[in-house]
Amino acid sequence: MSRNDRMSGNEAVATAIRQINPDVIAAFPITPSTEIPQYISSFKANGLIDTEFVAVESEHSAMSACIGASAAGARAMTATSSAGMALMYELLYVAASDRLPIVMAAVNRALSGPININADHSDSMGARDSGWIQIYSENAQEAYDNMLMAHRIAEHPDVMLPVMVCQDGFITSHAVENIVIEDDGPVRGFIGSYSPEKYLLNPAESLGVGPYSVSVYYMEIKRQQFEAMNSARAVIAGVSEDFAAMTGRDYGMIEKYRMEGAELAVIVMGSAAGTGKAAVDRLRGSGVKAGLVKLRVFRPFPDAEIAEAMGGVRALGIMDRCDGFSACGGPLGAEARGALYGRAEGIKTVNYVYGLGGRDMRVEDFEALFAELARVRDGAESLRCRYHGVRE
Protein backbone atom coordinates (compact mmCIF):
# COMPACT_ATOMS: atom_id res chain seq x y z
CA MET A 1 0.00 0.00 0.00
CA SER A 2 0.98 3.61 -0.44
CA ARG A 3 -0.38 6.96 0.70
CA ASN A 4 -0.64 10.42 -0.79
CA ASP A 5 1.13 13.20 1.09
CA ARG A 6 2.57 16.67 0.67
CA MET A 7 6.29 17.08 1.26
CA SER A 8 9.29 19.13 0.29
CA GLY A 9 12.16 17.36 -1.42
CA ASN A 10 14.21 17.43 1.77
CA GLU A 11 11.40 15.90 3.82
CA ALA A 12 10.83 13.29 1.13
CA VAL A 13 14.50 12.28 1.20
CA ALA A 14 14.50 12.24 5.01
CA THR A 15 11.39 10.04 4.94
CA ALA A 16 13.16 7.62 2.63
CA ILE A 17 16.14 7.57 5.00
CA ARG A 18 13.82 6.86 7.94
CA GLN A 19 12.38 3.90 6.06
CA ILE A 20 15.86 2.66 5.15
CA ASN A 21 16.96 3.01 8.80
CA PRO A 22 20.71 2.92 8.02
CA ASP A 23 23.29 1.89 10.60
CA VAL A 24 25.18 5.20 10.59
CA ILE A 25 24.50 8.75 9.42
CA ALA A 26 27.23 11.38 9.74
CA ALA A 27 26.42 14.91 8.66
CA PHE A 28 27.26 18.57 9.16
CA PRO A 29 24.61 21.22 8.38
CA ILE A 30 24.88 23.36 5.28
CA THR A 31 22.13 25.19 3.38
CA PRO A 32 20.03 23.91 1.63
CA SER A 33 20.59 20.32 2.84
CA THR A 34 20.41 21.20 6.56
CA GLU A 35 16.80 20.06 6.92
CA ILE A 36 17.72 16.46 6.13
CA PRO A 37 19.92 15.87 9.22
CA GLN A 38 17.41 17.93 11.23
CA TYR A 39 14.64 15.50 10.28
CA ILE A 40 16.93 12.55 11.03
CA SER A 41 17.74 13.97 14.47
CA SER A 42 14.01 14.27 15.15
CA PHE A 43 13.38 10.68 14.01
CA LYS A 44 16.19 9.51 16.27
CA ALA A 45 14.91 11.48 19.26
CA ASN A 46 11.39 10.09 18.77
CA GLY A 47 12.56 6.49 18.51
CA LEU A 48 11.54 6.09 14.87
CA ILE A 49 15.00 4.89 13.83
CA ASP A 50 17.86 3.22 15.66
CA THR A 51 20.49 4.74 13.39
CA GLU A 52 23.72 5.96 15.00
CA PHE A 53 23.66 9.67 14.21
CA VAL A 54 27.14 11.22 14.31
CA ALA A 55 27.17 15.01 14.61
CA VAL A 56 30.61 15.95 13.28
CA GLU A 57 32.55 19.21 13.13
CA SER A 58 32.80 19.47 9.33
CA GLU A 59 31.79 17.82 6.09
CA HIS A 60 35.30 16.41 5.74
CA SER A 61 34.72 14.64 9.04
CA ALA A 62 31.25 13.53 7.94
CA MET A 63 32.62 11.67 4.95
CA SER A 64 35.51 10.34 7.03
CA ALA A 65 33.02 8.90 9.52
CA CYS A 66 30.98 7.37 6.69
CA ILE A 67 34.10 5.79 5.22
CA GLY A 68 35.06 4.29 8.58
CA ALA A 69 31.55 3.02 9.21
CA SER A 70 31.17 1.54 5.73
CA ALA A 71 34.58 -0.11 5.87
CA ALA A 72 33.56 -1.67 9.19
CA GLY A 73 30.51 -3.24 7.53
CA ALA A 74 27.78 -0.68 8.30
CA ARG A 75 25.24 0.86 5.92
CA ALA A 76 26.29 4.54 5.96
CA MET A 77 24.73 7.76 4.66
CA THR A 78 25.25 11.51 4.67
CA ALA A 79 23.81 14.72 3.20
CA THR A 80 25.50 17.87 1.99
CA SER A 81 25.56 20.77 -0.48
CA SER A 82 27.95 23.11 -2.25
CA ALA A 83 31.05 23.98 -0.22
CA GLY A 84 30.28 21.04 2.05
CA MET A 85 30.77 18.67 -0.87
CA ALA A 86 33.89 20.59 -1.86
CA LEU A 87 35.29 20.08 1.65
CA MET A 88 34.69 16.34 1.19
CA TYR A 89 36.49 16.34 -2.14
CA GLU A 90 39.55 14.29 -1.16
CA LEU A 91 37.41 11.72 0.60
CA LEU A 92 34.95 11.29 -2.27
CA TYR A 93 37.80 9.68 -4.17
CA VAL A 94 38.73 7.54 -1.16
CA ALA A 95 35.17 6.23 -0.77
CA ALA A 96 34.95 5.28 -4.42
CA SER A 97 38.39 3.72 -4.72
CA ASP A 98 37.82 1.70 -1.55
CA ARG A 99 34.54 0.45 -3.10
CA LEU A 100 32.40 1.61 -0.19
CA PRO A 101 28.65 1.80 -0.98
CA ILE A 102 27.94 5.03 0.88
CA VAL A 103 24.81 6.95 -0.14
CA MET A 104 24.75 10.75 -0.11
CA ALA A 105 21.79 13.10 -0.40
CA ALA A 106 23.31 15.91 -2.48
CA VAL A 107 21.19 19.06 -2.50
CA ASN A 108 22.67 21.03 -5.37
CA ARG A 109 23.83 24.56 -4.66
CA ALA A 110 26.20 26.97 -6.37
CA LEU A 111 29.81 27.06 -5.25
CA SER A 112 31.49 30.30 -4.25
CA GLY A 113 32.47 32.81 -5.34
CA PRO A 114 30.68 35.04 -5.05
CA ILE A 115 28.72 33.47 -2.21
CA ASN A 116 25.38 32.12 -3.37
CA ILE A 117 23.06 29.64 -1.64
CA ASN A 118 20.78 28.82 -4.57
CA ALA A 119 20.69 26.00 -7.07
CA ASP A 120 23.06 25.06 -9.78
CA HIS A 121 25.05 21.89 -10.43
CA SER A 122 28.58 23.17 -9.90
CA ASP A 123 29.01 21.14 -6.69
CA SER A 124 28.15 17.68 -7.98
CA MET A 125 29.58 18.36 -11.45
CA GLY A 126 32.85 19.30 -9.77
CA ALA A 127 32.88 15.78 -8.33
CA ARG A 128 31.73 14.07 -11.52
CA ASP A 129 35.01 12.19 -12.00
CA SER A 130 35.44 11.09 -8.38
CA GLY A 131 34.02 7.62 -9.05
CA TRP A 132 30.55 8.13 -7.55
CA ILE A 133 27.37 7.07 -9.29
CA GLN A 134 25.25 10.22 -9.80
CA ILE A 135 21.44 10.21 -10.03
CA TYR A 136 19.49 13.46 -10.56
CA SER A 137 15.91 14.16 -9.48
CA GLU A 138 13.36 16.30 -11.30
CA ASN A 139 11.00 16.67 -8.32
CA ALA A 140 10.34 15.52 -4.76
CA GLN A 141 8.81 12.24 -5.91
CA GLU A 142 11.93 11.33 -7.85
CA ALA A 143 14.19 12.40 -4.97
CA TYR A 144 12.27 10.02 -2.69
CA ASP A 145 12.24 7.19 -5.21
CA ASN A 146 15.89 7.58 -6.18
CA MET A 147 16.91 7.46 -2.53
CA LEU A 148 14.99 4.21 -2.04
CA MET A 149 16.82 2.66 -4.99
CA ALA A 150 20.28 3.98 -4.14
CA HIS A 151 21.36 1.31 -1.64
CA ARG A 152 20.20 -1.52 -3.87
CA ILE A 153 22.43 -0.10 -6.61
CA ALA A 154 25.42 0.79 -4.45
CA GLU A 155 25.52 -2.49 -2.53
CA HIS A 156 25.11 -4.82 -5.49
CA PRO A 157 28.15 -7.15 -5.59
CA ASP A 158 28.83 -6.19 -9.20
CA VAL A 159 28.95 -2.50 -8.26
CA MET A 160 30.03 -1.67 -4.67
CA LEU A 161 30.37 2.04 -5.41
CA PRO A 162 29.04 5.09 -3.57
CA VAL A 163 25.94 6.87 -4.90
CA MET A 164 24.90 10.51 -4.69
CA VAL A 165 21.20 11.29 -5.14
CA CYS A 166 20.96 14.89 -6.33
CA GLN A 167 18.11 17.40 -6.22
CA ASP A 168 18.08 21.13 -6.91
CA GLY A 169 18.44 23.30 -3.84
CA PHE A 170 15.31 25.24 -2.81
CA ILE A 171 13.62 24.60 -6.18
CA THR A 172 13.09 20.96 -5.22
CA SER A 173 14.46 20.69 -1.69
CA HIS A 174 12.13 23.28 -0.14
CA ALA A 175 9.13 23.36 -2.48
CA VAL A 176 6.17 21.34 -1.16
CA GLU A 177 4.63 18.97 -3.70
CA ASN A 178 2.14 16.14 -3.82
CA ILE A 179 3.99 12.87 -3.39
CA VAL A 180 3.25 9.16 -3.00
CA ILE A 181 4.91 7.52 0.01
CA GLU A 182 5.24 3.74 0.15
CA ASP A 183 4.55 1.76 3.33
CA ASP A 184 7.55 1.01 5.51
CA GLY A 185 7.26 -2.78 5.28
CA PRO A 186 7.43 -3.13 1.49
CA VAL A 187 10.20 -0.52 1.34
CA ARG A 188 12.38 -2.39 3.80
CA GLY A 189 11.68 -5.63 1.98
CA PHE A 190 12.71 -3.99 -1.29
CA ILE A 191 15.93 -2.57 0.14
CA GLY A 192 16.88 -5.67 2.12
CA SER A 193 19.67 -6.02 4.65
CA TYR A 194 23.31 -5.21 4.00
CA SER A 195 25.70 -8.14 4.35
CA PRO A 196 29.06 -7.18 2.84
CA GLU A 197 31.45 -9.88 1.80
CA LYS A 198 34.48 -8.01 3.15
CA TYR A 199 34.53 -5.71 6.18
CA LEU A 200 37.02 -4.65 8.83
CA LEU A 201 35.13 -6.01 11.85
CA ASN A 202 35.03 -9.56 10.52
CA PRO A 203 37.10 -11.50 13.08
CA ALA A 204 37.55 -14.41 10.68
CA GLU A 205 39.53 -12.47 8.10
CA SER A 206 42.38 -9.98 8.00
CA LEU A 207 41.60 -7.03 5.76
CA GLY A 208 43.15 -3.71 4.88
CA VAL A 209 41.12 -0.79 3.52
CA GLY A 210 42.78 2.14 1.79
CA PRO A 211 46.43 1.05 1.98
CA TYR A 212 49.20 2.71 0.02
CA SER A 213 49.09 1.41 -3.54
CA VAL A 214 52.32 1.36 -5.51
CA SER A 215 52.36 1.65 -9.29
CA VAL A 216 52.23 -2.09 -9.93
CA TYR A 217 48.76 -2.22 -8.30
CA TYR A 218 47.20 1.24 -8.71
CA MET A 219 46.17 0.98 -12.34
CA GLU A 220 44.49 -2.38 -11.80
CA ILE A 221 42.45 -0.89 -8.95
CA LYS A 222 41.27 1.91 -11.23
CA ARG A 223 40.37 -0.66 -13.89
CA GLN A 224 38.22 -2.44 -11.32
CA GLN A 225 36.41 0.84 -10.62
CA PHE A 226 35.85 1.23 -14.34
CA GLU A 227 34.36 -2.25 -14.60
CA ALA A 228 32.13 -1.60 -11.56
CA MET A 229 30.81 1.64 -13.07
CA ASN A 230 30.16 -0.15 -16.34
CA SER A 231 28.32 -2.94 -14.48
CA ALA A 232 26.17 -0.31 -12.76
CA ARG A 233 24.25 0.23 -16.00
CA ALA A 234 22.58 -3.18 -15.88
CA VAL A 235 22.16 -3.02 -12.10
CA ILE A 236 20.39 0.37 -12.30
CA ALA A 237 18.06 -1.06 -14.92
CA GLY A 238 17.32 -4.16 -12.84
CA VAL A 239 16.69 -2.20 -9.64
CA SER A 240 14.42 0.19 -11.55
CA GLU A 241 12.39 -2.76 -12.87
CA ASP A 242 11.96 -4.14 -9.34
CA PHE A 243 10.98 -0.69 -8.09
CA ALA A 244 8.40 -0.34 -10.87
CA ALA A 245 6.93 -3.70 -9.91
CA MET A 246 6.50 -2.46 -6.32
CA THR A 247 5.28 1.08 -7.02
CA GLY A 248 4.21 1.37 -10.66
CA ARG A 249 6.75 4.17 -11.13
CA ASP A 250 9.23 3.29 -13.85
CA TYR A 251 12.62 4.95 -14.31
CA GLY A 252 15.40 4.53 -16.83
CA MET A 253 18.81 6.05 -17.34
CA ILE A 254 17.06 8.77 -19.34
CA GLU A 255 13.48 9.87 -19.94
CA LYS A 256 12.33 10.65 -23.48
CA TYR A 257 9.54 13.23 -23.53
CA ARG A 258 7.61 13.73 -26.78
CA MET A 259 10.63 12.75 -28.85
CA GLU A 260 8.51 11.05 -31.54
CA GLY A 261 9.13 13.01 -34.71
CA ALA A 262 11.05 15.73 -32.87
CA GLU A 263 13.30 17.94 -35.00
CA LEU A 264 14.28 20.27 -32.16
CA ALA A 265 15.21 18.88 -28.73
CA VAL A 266 16.95 19.70 -25.49
CA ILE A 267 18.88 17.55 -23.03
CA VAL A 268 18.46 18.66 -19.42
CA MET A 269 18.90 17.42 -15.84
CA GLY A 270 17.11 18.20 -12.60
CA SER A 271 14.15 20.44 -11.87
CA ALA A 272 14.32 22.39 -15.14
CA ALA A 273 13.11 19.26 -16.92
CA GLY A 274 9.59 19.85 -15.62
CA THR A 275 9.56 23.39 -16.96
CA GLY A 276 10.97 22.16 -20.25
CA LYS A 277 8.19 19.58 -20.57
CA ALA A 278 5.58 22.31 -20.16
CA ALA A 279 7.28 24.31 -22.91
CA VAL A 280 7.42 21.27 -25.19
CA ASP A 281 3.68 20.71 -24.68
CA ARG A 282 2.94 24.33 -25.56
CA LEU A 283 5.18 24.22 -28.64
CA ARG A 284 3.73 20.94 -29.85
CA GLY A 285 0.30 22.52 -29.59
CA SER A 286 1.41 25.24 -32.01
CA GLY A 287 2.93 22.77 -34.47
CA VAL A 288 6.60 22.93 -33.45
CA LYS A 289 8.26 19.50 -33.51
CA ALA A 290 9.90 19.88 -30.10
CA GLY A 291 11.07 17.19 -27.67
CA LEU A 292 13.06 16.76 -24.48
CA VAL A 293 15.49 14.19 -23.08
CA LYS A 294 15.96 14.20 -19.32
CA LEU A 295 19.08 12.63 -17.89
CA ARG A 296 18.30 10.85 -14.64
CA VAL A 297 21.69 9.15 -14.39
CA PHE A 298 24.84 11.12 -15.16
CA ARG A 299 27.31 8.52 -13.87
CA PRO A 300 27.53 6.06 -15.50
CA PHE A 301 26.94 8.28 -18.50
CA PRO A 302 24.05 7.09 -20.74
CA ASP A 303 25.83 7.61 -24.04
CA ALA A 304 24.06 4.90 -26.06
CA GLU A 305 20.66 5.90 -24.70
CA ILE A 306 21.20 9.54 -25.68
CA ALA A 307 22.26 8.64 -29.20
CA GLU A 308 19.29 6.28 -29.61
CA ALA A 309 16.87 8.97 -28.43
CA MET A 310 17.87 11.46 -31.11
CA GLY A 311 15.88 9.88 -33.98
CA GLY A 312 15.24 12.65 -36.53
CA VAL A 313 16.52 15.54 -34.37
CA ARG A 314 18.24 18.19 -36.45
CA ALA A 315 19.13 20.76 -33.76
CA LEU A 316 19.87 19.93 -30.13
CA GLY A 317 20.29 22.19 -27.11
CA ILE A 318 22.46 20.63 -24.39
CA MET A 319 21.74 22.39 -21.13
CA ASP A 320 24.33 22.75 -18.36
CA ARG A 321 23.42 24.25 -14.99
CA CYS A 322 27.12 24.93 -14.44
CA ASP A 323 30.05 26.03 -16.55
CA GLY A 324 33.07 23.81 -17.11
CA PHE A 325 35.20 26.93 -17.76
CA SER A 326 36.75 25.14 -20.71
CA ALA A 327 35.85 28.15 -22.89
CA CYS A 328 33.71 25.79 -24.96
CA GLY A 329 30.85 24.77 -22.66
CA GLY A 330 29.87 22.72 -19.65
CA PRO A 331 30.42 19.07 -18.71
CA LEU A 332 27.09 17.77 -20.00
CA GLY A 333 27.73 19.53 -23.30
CA ALA A 334 31.10 17.85 -23.73
CA GLU A 335 29.86 14.40 -22.81
CA ALA A 336 26.64 14.55 -24.81
CA ARG A 337 28.53 15.61 -27.91
CA GLY A 338 30.91 12.75 -27.31
CA ALA A 339 27.95 10.38 -27.05
CA LEU A 340 26.67 11.51 -30.44
CA TYR A 341 30.03 11.13 -32.17
CA GLY A 342 30.01 8.02 -34.34
CA ARG A 343 26.41 7.22 -33.39
CA ALA A 344 24.16 10.16 -34.31
CA GLU A 345 26.29 12.63 -36.19
CA GLY A 346 24.92 15.44 -38.33
CA ILE A 347 22.88 17.01 -35.53
CA LYS A 348 23.60 20.70 -34.99
CA THR A 349 24.29 21.17 -31.27
CA VAL A 350 24.35 24.22 -29.03
CA ASN A 351 25.59 23.98 -25.45
CA TYR A 352 23.58 26.32 -23.20
CA VAL A 353 24.79 27.37 -19.76
CA TYR A 354 21.71 28.42 -17.79
CA GLY A 355 20.25 28.88 -14.33
CA LEU A 356 23.48 29.61 -12.47
CA GLY A 357 23.07 30.68 -8.86
CA GLY A 358 19.37 29.82 -8.93
CA ARG A 359 18.38 32.06 -11.84
CA ASP A 360 14.91 31.03 -13.03
CA MET A 361 14.43 29.04 -16.22
CA ARG A 362 10.84 29.74 -17.20
CA VAL A 363 8.60 28.21 -19.84
CA GLU A 364 9.12 31.37 -21.89
CA ASP A 365 12.89 30.90 -21.65
CA PHE A 366 12.58 27.41 -23.08
CA GLU A 367 10.38 28.73 -25.87
CA ALA A 368 13.01 31.33 -26.76
CA LEU A 369 15.68 28.63 -26.68
CA PHE A 370 13.67 26.39 -29.04
CA ALA A 371 13.14 29.36 -31.38
CA GLU A 372 16.90 29.83 -31.45
CA LEU A 373 17.40 26.13 -32.16
CA ALA A 374 15.01 26.45 -35.11
CA ARG A 375 17.25 29.16 -36.56
CA VAL A 376 20.27 26.95 -36.01
CA ARG A 377 18.50 24.06 -37.74
CA ASP A 378 17.68 26.26 -40.72
CA GLY A 379 21.21 27.65 -41.00
CA ALA A 380 20.14 31.19 -40.11
CA GLU A 381 22.29 31.16 -36.97
CA SER A 382 25.50 29.39 -36.02
CA LEU A 383 26.22 28.84 -32.33
CA ARG A 384 28.55 26.54 -30.42
CA CYS A 385 28.10 27.56 -26.81
CA ARG A 386 26.34 30.43 -25.12
CA TYR A 387 24.93 31.59 -21.81
CA HIS A 388 21.13 31.66 -21.83
CA GLY A 389 19.15 34.13 -19.73
CA VAL A 390 21.87 36.63 -18.88
CA ARG A 391 21.62 40.43 -19.05
CA GLU A 392 23.89 41.32 -21.97
pLDDT score of 299? 98
- Is position 300 within any domain? yes
End position of a domain, from candidates 179, 212, 247: 247
Residue 161 pLDDT exceeds 90 = yes
- Is position 287 within any domain? yes
Greater confidence (392 vs 103) lies with 103
102/208 same-domain check: yes
Domain count for the chain, please give it: 2
End position of a domain, from candidates 186, 217, 247: 247
What range does the domain containing 345 cover?
A: 254-387
In the DSSP assignment, the letter for residue 357 is: G
108/207 same-domain check: yes
Greater confidence (113 vs 288) lies with 288
Q: Find the mean pLDDT for residues 162-169.
A: 98
340/199 same-domain check: no
Is the whole model's pTM more than 0.95, yes or no? yes
215/342 same-domain check: no
| Contact yes or no for 294/376 (Cβ under 8 A) | no
19/161 same-domain check: yes
Q: What is the CATH number of the domain that holds 228?
A: 3.40.50.970
Angle at 41 between CA 38 and CA 44, to 5 degrees: 150
CA dihedral for 262, 314, 303, 273, sign (positive or negative): negative
Q: What is the CATH number of the domain that holds 291?
A: 3.40.50.920
Q: Distance between the two ends of the chain, CA-based, in angstroms? A: 53
**Averaged confidence pLDDT in the chain:** 97
pLDDT score of 321? 98
Query: How many angstroms separate the Cα of 342 from the Cα of each of 308, 312, 337?
Result: 12, 16, 10
Q: Find the mean pLDDT for residues 289-310.
A: 98
94/155 same-domain check: yes
- Is position 392 within any domain? no
pLDDT score of 214? 93
pLDDT score of 9? 98
* Residue 317 three-state SS: strand
Q: Find the mean pLDDT for residues 288-294.
A: 98
| Contact yes or no for 24/66 (Cβ under 8 A) | yes
pLDDT score of 10? 98
Q: Find the mean pLDDT for residues 303-308.
A: 97
- Is position 11 within any domain? yes
Q: What is the DSSP string of 131-142?
A: S-EEEE-SSHHH
In the DSSP assignment, the letter for residue 326 is: S
pLDDT score of 345? 82
243/270 same-domain check: no
- Write the pLDDT tens digit of every residue in 128-137: 999 999 999 9
260/358 same-domain check: yes
- Write the pLDDT tens digit of every residue in 4-54: 999 999 999 999 999 999 999 999 999 999 999 999 999 999 999 999 999
332/230 same-domain check: no
pLDDT band at 269 (very low <50, low <70, confident <90, very high): very high
- Write the pLDDT tens digit of every residue in 73-95: 999 999 999 999 999 999 999 99
End position of a domain, from candidates 231, 247, 263: 247
- Write the pLDDT tens digit of every residue in 207-242: 888 889 999 999 999 999 999 999 999 999 999 999
- Is position 130 within any domain? yes
96/175 same-domain check: yes
227/310 same-domain check: no
- Is position 84 within any domain? yes
In the DSSP assignment, the letter for residue 81 is: -
pLDDT score of 276? 98
Residue 105 pLDDT exceeds 90 = yes
Distance CA 321, CA 331 (A): 9
Question: Which of 200, 82, 74, 90 is CA-nearest to residue 66?
Answer: 74
319/194 same-domain check: no
| Contact yes or no for 289/261 (Cβ under 8 A) | yes
